[in-house]
């Protein structure tokens, strides 16, 4: 187990994970209250990945995500208010309310969103990296995808092209063991996802996705590799989602005790214990954190509640760039 070097960094990692956890819990609550509609895919249990990985990228780098992207957007820096407003579908949402839970976008932070078709983001990430390479920009594109995506042709086509053209893209597989309702072993012949990268001569590594420090260390190393122009790299974060695939799911595909077993490896609980062991964390510290986070969430909710609906007349606005007439 890697050691926490200094307290502030330890606090920052814990605070971020808690921030995601509480935000997602609030979402579940608001969903059942009918405030959030449509699909909602929660990130609870996988927080260590986003918290450990995303800060390794510079503000210049690009992030391409999936429909389970609340945590990524929060850590990337999009304020909680616009995210909550987007979940409400309000005009002050980060995509003006048009996308909802699966489609967060933030151009200022080069967050190319939630792209909700499984595997759909991979080719896009390869393209972003191609543009960087052709314009000699030392930037990295992070491409998050789930274990389900490795079954899509786009996964294999993207890895091949990225390797062929030595493109600065970092493939980040969040393997939470289930593609919606199908366990990894029932949809992959080769379940060691990192080994799939060998077929395309892409260096790859499996990482304990429940250990935020391990995620951070492995990701920092991979980012340096890619930023040095040595071509793509793949990390397989082995993690687990404690909640259903989405808010419509009876979880028939896994057993209760399996979930319970994984909860013993809750990344937040584990990290708290480590901080306490290294005397970096007291109950009071934790309470302060939780209070601050709760306040942030409350403010985000009121920001969303106070937001207005986009006027009907704007239905076709921004279908094309303004120079061209809409429609």
Partner 1 sequence: MGKITYREAVRAGLREALQSNPRVFLMGEDVGKYGGTYACSKGFLDEFGPERIRDTPLSESTFVGAGIGAALGGMRPIVEVMTVNFSLLALDQIVNNAATIRHMSGGQFSIPLVVRMATGAGRQVAAQHSHSLEGWYAHIPGITVLAPATVTDARGMLLAALQEPDPVFIFEHAYLYPLEGELDESALPVDLTQAAVRRAGTNISLITFGGSLWKALEAADQLFHEGISAEVVDLRILRPLDISTVLASVRKTHRAVVIDEGWRTGSFAAEVSAQIMEVAFYDLDGPVARICSVEVPIPYPKHLEDAALPQPEKIVQAVHSLMGR
> Binding residue for partner 1 (CB under 8 A) from 50, 116, 159, 268?
116
Among 33, 153, 185, 325, binds partner 1 (CB under 8 A): 153
> Which range touches partner 1 (CB under 8 A), out of 13-21, 52-60, 183-191, 279-287?
183-191
- Position among 182, 208, 225, 276 found at the interface with partner 1 (CB under 8 A): 182
Kindly indicate which of the ranges 35-43, 136-144, 162-170, 214-222 contains the residues binding partner 1, using the contact rule CB under 8 A: 35-43
If binding is defined by CB under 8 A, does position 259 make contact with partner 1? no
Q: Which of 1, 5, 117, 298 binds partner 1 (CB under 8 A)?
A: 117
Non-local CB neighbours of 32 within 8 Å, separated by 6+ positions: none
The span from the CA of 322 to the CA of 308, in Å, is: 23
Pair of tokens at residue 146: 């789930």
Rounded to the nearest 10°, the torsion over CA 240, 6, 58, 112 is: 30
Comparing CB distances to partner 1, the nearer of 113 and 267 is 113
Instruction: Report the residue number, 83 or 118, with the smaller CB distance to partner 1.
Output: 118
**207 phi and psi angles, rounded to 5 deg:** -130, 145
DSSP string, 244-261: -SSTT---TTS-HHHHHH
Q: Does 261 bind partner 1 (CB under 8 A)?
A: no
Residue where the block lists tokens 């609030």 = 26
State the Cα–Cα distance between residues 79 and 189, nearest whole angstrom. 41
Out of 22, 98, 138, 265, which residue is the one contacting partner 1 (CB under 8 A)? 98
Q: CB 221 → partner 1: shortest distance, Å?
A: 30
Distances (CA, A) of 154 to 143, 231, 288: 13, 18, 45
Binding to partner 1 in span 4-33, by CB under 8 A:
none
- Helices (runs of H) and strands (runs of E) counted in the chain: 12, 8
71: left (phi over 0), alpha (psi -120 to 50) or beta: alpha
Question: Segment contacting partner 1 (CB under 8 A): 52-60, 76-84, 90-98, 211-219?
Answer: 90-98
Q: Which of 135, 316, 324, 325 binds partner 1 (CB under 8 A)?
A: 316
Specify the 3-state DSSP secondary structure of 142: strand
d(CA 185, CA 130): 33
Among 25, 285, 299, 310, binds partner 1 (CB under 8 A): 310
Question: How many other CB atoms are found less than 10 A from the CB of residue 147?
Answer: 23
**Does 315 contact partner 1 by CB under 8 A?**
yes
In the complex, what is the shortest distance from the CB of residue 189 to partner 1, in angstroms, rounded to a whole number? 9
Rg of the chain over CA atoms, in angstroms? 20
Cβ at position 294, least distance to partner 1 in Å = 27
Q: Does 322 bind partner 1 (CB under 8 A)?
A: no
Closest C-alpha to 76, from 94, 57, 91: 57
Please report whether residue 179 would count as binding partner 1 according to CB under 8 A.
yes
- Is 118 an interacting residue with respect to partner 1 (CB under 8 A)? yes
List of residues 6+ apart from 164 with CB closer than 8 A: none
Segment interacting with partner 1 (CB under 8 A) among 1-9, 24-32, 173-181, 265-273: 173-181
Q: Counting contacts by CB under 8 A, is residue 307 touching partner 1?
A: no
Measured from the CB of residue 315, what is the shortest distance to partner 1 in angstroms? 6
Question: CB 286: neighbour CB atoms within 10 A?
Answer: 17
Give the residues lining the site for partner 1 (CB under 8 A).
37-39, 89-90, 97-100, 102-103, 115-120, 148-149, 151-153, 179-183, 186-188, 252-253, 309-310, 312, 315-316, 319, 327
């Amino acid at each position: 187990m890697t050691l926490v070097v200094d307290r502030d960094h330890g606090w920052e990692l814990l605070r971020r994970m808690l921030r995601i956890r509480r935000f997602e819990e609030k979402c579940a609550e608001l969903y059942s209250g009918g405030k959030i509609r449509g699909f909602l895919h929660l990130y609870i249990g996988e927080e260590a990945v986003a918290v450990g990985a995303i800060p390794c990228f510079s503000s210049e780098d690009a992030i391409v995500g999936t429909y389970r992207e609340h945590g990524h957007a929060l850590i990337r820096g999009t304020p909680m208010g616009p995210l909550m407003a987007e979940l409400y579908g309000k005009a002050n949402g980060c995509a003006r309310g048009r996308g909802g839970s699966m489609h967060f976008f933030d151009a200022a932070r080069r967050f190319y969103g939630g792209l909700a078709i499984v595997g759909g983001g991979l080719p896009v990430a390869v393209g972003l990296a191609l543009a960087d390479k052709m314009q000699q920009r030392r930037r990295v594109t992070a491409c998050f995808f789930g274990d389900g995506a490795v079954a899509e042709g786009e996964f294999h086509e993207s890895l091949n092209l990225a390797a062929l053209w030595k493109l600065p893209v970092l493939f980040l597989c969040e393997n939470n063991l289930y593609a919606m309702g199908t366990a990894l072993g029932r949809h992959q012949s080769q379940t060691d996802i990192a080994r799939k990268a060998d077929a395309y001569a892409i260096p790859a590594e499996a990482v304990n996705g429940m250990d935020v420090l391990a995620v951070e260390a492995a990701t920092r190393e991979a980012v340096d590799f890619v930023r040095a122009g040595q071509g793509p790299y793949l990390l397989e974060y082995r993690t687990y989602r404690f909640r259903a695939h989405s808010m419509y799911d009876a979880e028939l595909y896994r057993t209760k005790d399996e979930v319970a077993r994984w909860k013993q490896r809750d990344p937040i609980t584990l990290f708290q214990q480590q901080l306490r062991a290294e005397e970096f964390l007291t109950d009071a510290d934790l309470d302060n954190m939780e209070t601050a986070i709760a306040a942030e969430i409350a403010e985000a909710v009121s920001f969303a509640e106070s937001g207005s609906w986009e006027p009907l007349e704007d239905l076709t606005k921004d279908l094309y760039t303004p120079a061209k007439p809409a429609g």
